[in-house]
Amino acid sequence: MDTNLHVYNSLSAKKEKFEPIKAPFVGMYVCGPTVYSYVHLGNCRTFISFDLIYRYLLHLGYKVRYVRNITDAGHLENDADEGEDKISKKARLEAVEPMEIVQKYTLDFHEVLDKFNNLPPNIEPTATGHIVEQIDMIQDIINEGFAYEVNGSVYFDVETYNAKFGNEYGKLSGRKIDELMAGTRDLDGQSEKRSPVDFALWKKASPTHIMRWNSPWSVGFPGWHLECSVMSSKYLGDSFDIHGGGMDLKFPHHECEIAQCKAANHQDPVKYWMHTNMLTLNGARMSKSTGNTLLPNELFTGNNDKLEKAFSPIVVRFFMMQAHYRSPLDFSSDALMAAEKGYLRLMGALNDLEELKPAETTTAFDLEEWKSKCYAAMDDDFNTPILIAHLFEAVKFIKAAKDGKASIAATDKAALQELLNAFVFDILGLEKEEQQASGDDELVDGLMKTIIDLRLDARQRKDYATSDRIRDHLQNLNIVLKDSKEGTSWEKE
RNA sequence: GGUCUCGUGGCCGAGUGGCUAGGCAGUGGUCUGCAAAACCUCGUACAGCGGUUCGAAUCCGCUCGAGACCUCCA
């Protein structure tokens, strides 16, 4: 199959034509969350970005296997000998089993991504479920001569690897070994590592370390970067199409993944590396230490001191889609409120389209040209902001048709509906928001209908004192009446 | 300190050598008893300085400012 999709490859720092290794199959691996606390919004942006990418690949007809791991063990807290992994540290603090922590936050993670309308990946492997495979890969790397054991721990020998593979370590992130050495010299105490740039494949567990497994070298746990190499190659092969993650993982995590895979399998594991950009909050980086953080549920409920009001997951998703995945994006009340209005306008136009009466011919809109512009935007490295700009062109046309200033033929109407549904719901992954104020309470709906009817009577009698009184009193309750030709609707502010 | 990215109109945010992105806000208008809502109209911005070019927001250099990575981080 042939498509015109181009993707930005971090490895070449260029947009490249997307040609899967074995079309129509596409293997995509995305680095998932470490489940030791609630998933935060920055994480969500990354996964929403890759959800978009997944959805568009599916839309184009690719048979995608999307693998996203759950890191439930192994990421070291620090580089010191007494290093412990994040899961076990948290477990001790809360006096529960590590897997209890893992379960709690995994459930939260799934719940939040579901609210954002993310499709689940095809495989969601866990690090603790692949200890055996990780041990095997370490053994392979040792056998190939790129790792060494010290006191029960195993380290990757970066310099030997680099000598063998033409100074490739750093090719993804643009690092040079010499510079890295210079930068790390002062941090290097009496490490077991031969070189400061080496990294752990297996760590011997200290007596207090809870999560531990048997291995040929010691009772311990796997190193930081190994799980992704192991699980991606297990489920997608030694060489696959797309590997993604946040750009903060580029170095060292992804760099180390390349080295591990290449050391074990002698081939580049990934054809297209894709990295998403960071999310900031009120102009500053999200950080727990400064308190500038926001959890998804705090955003949805409005229960936070960072933003002026609550925002629904779908509005947030739309907001994210208005920026390109490789650009940084800032969360603020003003920006989100603007997105909310735009989203409502788009959704309103979709409803308007359904109700349009078809005419003989279509005027003032070139459907074919519009369609190809939409696809061109998505084909250009998933440029959703441009796509959305084109969607608003269609909105404008729909409004004009509704006003009788343009017309649409029946076949074009059906085609436009189909395309808009594809772009808005299938690809961007938006959905119609559930009824907000009205609809959730029959009693309130009934009462409101009575009040609105009474006001209508008063207006017809030209008793504006009464009709305005009704309107003002409702306004005081934060209920806004909206008059239109079709009648009066209401909304809670 | 090293490596790198970025600085676009009131706000958000695309674009990247010549041709109005888009959304929100704002302006003026239509509608309305009045308003709100809705719909229509309008807006010539690209940090500063210098250079390349017939032509630069777009390329090059410098200055200023912001951010990322270099340590766990999506």
Residues 6+ apart with CB under 8 A from A381: A6, A7, A8, A15, A324, A326
Q: Which of A21, A22, A19, A23 is nearest to A4 (CA)?
A: A19
Q: How far is CA A361 from the centre of its chain?
A: 41
**Segments making up each domain of chain A, as ranges:** 6-276, 316-427, 442-492
Please state the φ and ψ torsions of residue A22, each to the nearest 5 degrees.
Answer: -140, 70
Q: Give residue for tokens 């690809």.
A: A427
DSSP conformation letters of A228-277: HHHHHHHHH-SSEEEEEEEGGGIIIIIHHHHHHHHHHHSS-SEEEEEEEP
Please state the φ and ψ torsions of residue A98, each to the nearest 5 degrees.
Answer: -55, -40
Cα dihedral sign, A433-A52-A66-A161: negative
Q: How close are the terminal C-alpha atoms of chain A, in Å? A: 50
DSSP conformation letters of A433-482: PP--STTS-HHHHHHHHHHHHHHHHHHHTT-HHHHHHHHHHHHHTTEEEE
Residues 6+ apart with CB under 8 A from A448: A438, A479, A490
Q: Give residue for tokens 């998403």.
A: A276
Per-residue pLDDT reduced to its tens digit, A348-388: 999 999 989 998 999 889 999 999 999 999 999 999 999 99
CB atoms within 10 A of CB A305: 8
Q: What is the model's pLDDT at position A183?
A: 61
CA–CA distance, A286 with A283 (Å, rounded to integer)? 9
CB atoms within 10 A of CB A490: 17
| C-beta of residue A141 within 8 angstroms of C-beta of residue A148 | no
Please state whether strand B lies within 7 Å of residue A76 at its CB atom: yes
Which residues 79-108 of A interface with strand B at a CB distance below 7 A? 79, 86
Q: What is the model's pLDDT at position A288?
A: 67
Please state whether strand B lies within 7 Å of residue A6 at its CB atom: no
Q: C-alpha dihedral over A311, A313, A318, A324, to 10 degrees?
A: 110
- DSSP single-letter state for residue A124: -
Please state whether strand B lies within 7 Å of residue A125 at its CB atom: no
The arrangement of secondary structure in A6-276, i.e. its CATH architecture, is: 3-Layer(aba) Sandwich (3.40)
Q: What is the model's pLDDT at position A189?
A: 45
Q: C-alpha dihedral over A270, A276, A277, A279, to 10 degrees?
A: -140
Distance measured from the CA of protein residue A65 to the C1' of nucleotide B58, in angstroms: 39
Alpha-carbon distances, residue A192 vs A140, A183, A437 (angstroms): 21, 18, 62
Q: Which of A335, A40, A11 is nearest to A170 (CA)?
A: A11
Distance measured from the CA of protein residue A195 to the C1' of nucleotide B1, in angstroms: 21
CA–CA distance, A125 with A457 (Å, rounded to integer)? 63
Residues 6+ apart with CB under 8 A from A76: A83, A84, A85, A200, A203, A223, A224
Strand order in the sheet with A220-222: A147-150, A153-156, A199-204, A220-222
Per-residue pLDDT reduced to its tens digit, A276-289: 998 988 877 777 66
Alpha-carbon distances, residue A47 vs A36, A39, A166, A330, A477 (angstroms): 17, 11, 34, 17, 39
| C-beta of residue A455 within 8 angstroms of C-beta of residue A467 | yes
Tokens standing for A96? 């529960």
Distance measured from the CA of protein residue A334 to the C1' of nucleotide B10, in angstroms: 12
Low-confidence ranges of chain A (pLDDT < 70): 74-84, 92-95, 182-190, 288-289, 434-440
| C-beta of residue A246 within 8 angstroms of C-beta of residue A46 | yes
Which residues 135-164 of A interface with strand B at a CB distance below 7 A? none
Residue A156: strand, helix, or coil: strand
Identify residue A27 by its one-letter amino acid code. Answer: G
CA–CA distance, A333 with A167 (Å, rounded to integer)? 47
Which nucleotides in chain B lie less than 7 Å from some protein C-beta? 1-4, 10-15, 21-25, 31-41, 67-74
Q: What is the model's pLDDT at position A315?
A: 95
In A303-441, DSSP assigns E strands to 329-331
Please state the φ and ψ torsions of residue A35, each to the nearest 5 degrees.
Answer: -90, 65
Please state whether strand B lies within 7 Å of residue A59 at its CB atom: no
Name the closest nucleotide to A343, judged by C1' and CA. Answer: B23
Residue A197: strand, helix, or coil: coil
CB atoms within 10 A of CB A13: 9
Classify the complex by whether its ipTM is higher than 0.85, answering yes or no: yes
Q: What is the model's pLDDT at position A184?
A: 57
Burial A389-408 (b: 16+ CB within 10 A, else e): ebbeebbebbbbbeeeebbb
Cα radius of gyration rounded to whole Å, chain A: 27
Q: What is the model's pLDDT at position A75?
A: 54
Q: Which of A251, A223, A206, A226 is nearest to A89 (CA)?
A: A206
Q: What is the model's pLDDT at position A440?
A: 59
Residues present in chain A in total: 493
Q: What is the model's pLDDT at position A174?
A: 83
**Which residue is closest to B1 in terms of CA–C1' distance?**
A183
